Structure 1
Amino acid sequence: MEGDGIEVDDVEARRKDEPQDSDTLNGGGGEGEKMPLTLPQSSTLEEGLATVEGDDATQNEVDLSSTTQFCIRIGQAAFLYGSPGTNVERFLEHIMKQYGFYGMFRSTQSELFCSVAESETETPQTTMVPIVCALDMYKLALLADLANKVLSEEVTQKASLIELDKIAKTRKLWGNPVINATRVVAGAAIANLLGGSWWDILISGCGSCVCSLTVMILPKIGNHGAFAQYIQFVAAFVTASFANLVKLGLADLNVLICTTSAIITLTPGFKVSVGVAEIVSDRIVSGLAKLAKGFIVLLWLVVGAWLGISFIDAVANVPSNENKTVPLPMAWHALFVPLACVCLIFVFQVGTRDAPWALLIEGVTYGSNYGFSKLKDKNLGVFLSTVVLVVIANGWAKLMNRPASLVLVPSLVLQVSGSIGFQGLFHVIEGQAELGTAQFEQMLIIALMIVVGLLAGNTVLPPGTTL
């Protein structure tokens, strides 16, 4: 399970100097919290609509300029809440066609390109607007409900813009206390899945608390959160230092398992997989950007953890592990796997309407992965279970008229290999090049298996036109 630093996305760091009015993905508007992130507003469109009355207003709502701005607003919101780029592009082109215009949309990691015209025979006008890619499944669900109304022409463009603003101002469904508690449970669950002992599980949960406190406090230090960009590095340093200090009293503690489990929600395994998938789908620029960003975050985490462990080793006589860690019996997975699945629901802000389905599909994905892995090896299990996941998710999306991402993303994160990549790079830095290289290569192989599984699953049952 990887969280890709969802709570500490560098969105705030890039936009910290802007005036903001609505709730951010970090949630909360109370005292001492960061000012929220807002969606870009189209003042030109709204002012234009406000000045027109009667029948003229209806005409203004469907001209090329206002429709283009309308699509841009929806597109920016969709990327901010986690809809895949291909889904957003396909949906926006459908909207343009529905209003009688021609539109082609292409996105990268940070820009959305819009080519629009009155008809396909005319020369299109091309515009580039900024986008922010993040994740919030609850707001994505609300946006999907609005998108369905737009497709069925139940709402006007002006009414839709008002609804977009309401969605942007919606508070997080699961607040910071729930998220912090989730980190503790997630740390303990992942320690079990990585083969940790009872002490490893307990210290991993405590380390998750340390990581959460670091993530909450660091952005508030300095002018305008100047240290926010170093969150991954500092969190890994502090968490690894804590685990190594505890080892002074618990000689058999596995510091690497404790550190990896405690910072699991910051590891970028999902981002790496998405980057590889977009490259394979011929979205080279966007895919390389996501892949590079994922590796940079992973490197920050590894260097921070290595320095944290090395610092404690330098100032204290930390005992070395004389015995290999004895993992708990496999039967304990029956407890810790469901806990990990529930944690993903809270981390990704999946709404109560979709949470039961997401949990069910997570269970099916893990079960199929485990079963198929027994046929030959783990790589086959990852591939076939991803195919099963995509087919079920696409079928659910068409049946329920909901975005497949709401159930697809949590289950995919359960599959990906950010923890393996973290341990691989860590071993390379420590001088264990052969072991570290093998683990890092395994991360990439699993990412490729997921990508091939996604392509195969979408071939068996193509996705719908929803966000």
Structure 2
Amino acid sequence: MSLPSTSTPSSLPTAPTVAKVTSQFATTALNTRIAFLVELARRLHQYGTSAPRLEMAISGSAQRLGMTAEVWSSPTALIISFADMGQGDEGIAQVTQVMRLSPGDVNLARLCQADQIADQVIAGELDMREGFRLLRELGRPDTKREQAGVIASYGLASASVVALLLHSAWPDLLTAAVIGLIIGTITVLSATRPRLAVASEAISALVGTVFAIMVSAFVIPLAIKSVVLASLIVLLPGMALTTAVREISSQHLVSGMARMGGAVATLLKLTFGTVAGTQLCAAFGIYPRDFLLPPLPAWTDYPALIVAAFAFAVAFRAARRDWLVVMAAVVLGYLATRWGGAISGALPAAPFGVFLGGFMLSALANVYARYAHRPGAVIREPGIILLVPGSVGFRSVSYLLERDASLGLDTGVLLVTLLISLVAGLLFGDLMVPPRRSL
């Protein structure tokens, strides 16, 4: 959805624009327009849109439909107040809609479909009632094929992280892949089982840790911490932490703090699962063997990067037409960060590399949205997945639970530094190439 005109100080459309919009939708009932916008907001929230972008998208769409909308978004709720522009400028809301929602997950294919439906309705190419029906259809559950793809992506992502970021051994890679498949299965099952969903992160970490220790004890020695970290990579809330800091920096304080709390809760559940798995094995006298195996050869980095890019394209549920774009974004984000660290000079390598990666991806996402007329999230969200410091947060909490306060606090400081660097890069990228579309 393109942004509304900003030619007036209040960011509302000019008088000719209002007249044109009002005449275009004059025969459309107010309730029909409200129902369409409410369903659009529900879908954008469900597919992982952050609070600033969701509020901007709904407010802009409402203006084009001859209404004003005051939107309040949080990870678990939406409140929208509507007023018809044709009723004057009193600013009194005529309808207020309150929705209690579950936190959304990124689904790039359906996000793009929702964006396209909204654009077609606003342009008059699609009847509003038909647009509402199409938006409702987007809420259908995943097919068996889509679920299988998600499960496979978890295994591929876990294996590729072992080679790309942790540089461990072949047995670690294979074990992480198997654990990733198990965790992917648990995640898919939890989508339709609310009781399982509440504890799915802790259960996944527990099962993954026990499996890794059993393999290390009875089959072949493993680097346990690397295997467990890689197998949990998709569950780590690095993206949520980054979004939370970005929302806080844009003064969406309630949404940002709520999302931050959810991310911390996820970290605690994952850490509890790993600690519980370790203690459970120790209670039965099962301990991993500590033996250093030869690391993977250096040439595996780039094949692993391609596999990781494909895995995240599937995990983010991108449409097939966008797979190459998503994969290119993942590769570019990783290479930009690596290159930035190499040229940082006297600057800290990791924070500067993350800043540069975030800056390039944010600017490129806005360019893509401007000229491809598709949401910039297609590039922005998967592009930063290898930059977000979820694993650093996991390690920080793990060290604290192991009573290593000094190392835990040091790692926590690194987490904050990387988060600030990434968010700063994203904000400067938006400043360099201003977004023309709200998504």
What is the TM-score when the length of structure 1 is the normalising length? 0.81
1:170-200 CA distance string (max 9 Å, x none): 7459512222222221111111222311221
Matched residue, 1:413: 385
Matched residue, 1:379: 351
Residue identity matched to 1:208: G
Aligned to 2:82, the other structure's residue is in SS state strand
Which is further off, 270-279 or 358-367? Answer: 358-367
Unaligned runs of 5+ in 1: 1-57
Contact kept in structure 2, 1:251 and 1:321, CA below 8 Å: no
Matched residue, 1:358: 326
Aligned to 1:435, the other structure's residue is in SS state helix
Residue identity matched to 2:173: I
Matched residue, 1:276: 245
Contact kept in structure 2, 1:117 and 1:123, CA below 8 Å: yes
C-alpha spacing 1:216/1:371, structure 2 compared with 1 (3 Å): closer
Matched residue, 2:337: 369
Q: Distance in 2 between matches of 1:207 and 1:100?
A: 52
Matched residue, 1:229: 198
Aligned to 2:385, the other structure's residue is in SS state helix
Structure scoring higher RCO (CA < 8 A, sep ≥ 6) equals 1
Matches within 5 A, 1:68-467: 68-119=34-85, 121-125=89-93, 127-130=96-99, 131-132=101-102, 133-169=104-140, 171=142, 175-192=146-163, 193-216=165-188, 225-249=194-218, 252-319=221-288, 321=290, 323=292, 326-376=294-344, 377-467=349-439
Name the Cα RMSD after superposition: 2.3
C-alpha spacing 1:326/1:138, structure 2 compared with 1 (3 Å): same
Aligned to 1:113, the other structure's residue is in SS state strand
Which is further off, 314-323 or 448-457? Answer: 314-323
C-alpha spacing 1:101/1:256, structure 2 compared with 1 (3 Å): same
Aligned to 2:81, the other structure's residue is in SS state strand
Which is further off, 120-129 or 407-416? Answer: 120-129
- Post-superposition shift, 1:215? 3.7
Contact kept in structure 2, 1:188 and 1:202, CA below 8 Å: yes
- Post-superposition shift, 1:319? 4.9
1:375-423 CA distance string (max 9 Å, x none): 1201101001111111111101110100001121111112111112212
Residue identity matched to 2:66: G
C-alpha spacing 1:241/1:62, structure 2 compared with 1 (3 Å): same
Q: Distance in 1 between matches of 2:130 and 2:270?
A: 44
Residue identity matched to 1:161: F
Which is further off, 442-451 or 203-212? Answer: 203-212
Contact kept in structure 1, 2:309 and 2:328, CA below 8 Å: no
1:262-311 CA distance string (max 9 Å, x none): 12211111111111110111000000010000110110000111110121
C-alpha spacing 1:219/1:364, structure 2 compared with 1 (3 Å): closer
Q: Distance in 2 between matches of 1:263 and 1:228?
A: 16
Percent sequence identity over matched residues? 22
Aligned to 2:437, the other structure's residue is in SS state coil
Q: Distance in 1 between matches of 2:78 and 2:191?
A: 29
Contact kept in structure 2, 1:198 and 1:328, CA below 8 Å: yes
Aligned to 2:70, the other structure's residue is in SS state strand
C-alpha spacing 1:171/1:229, structure 2 compared with 1 (3 Å): closer
Aligned to 1:114, the other structure's residue is in SS state strand
Matched residue, 2:20: none
- Post-superposition shift, 1:92? 2.0
C-alpha spacing 1:151/1:174, structure 2 compared with 1 (3 Å): farther
C-alpha spacing 1:145/1:99, structure 2 compared with 1 (3 Å): closer
Q: Distance in 2 between matches of 1:173 and 1:363?
A: 29
Q: Distance in 2 between matches of 1:390 and 1:406?
A: 11
What count of residue pairs does the alignment treat as equivalent? 406
- Post-superposition shift, 1:243? 0.7
Stretches of 4+ moved more than 6 A in 1?
none
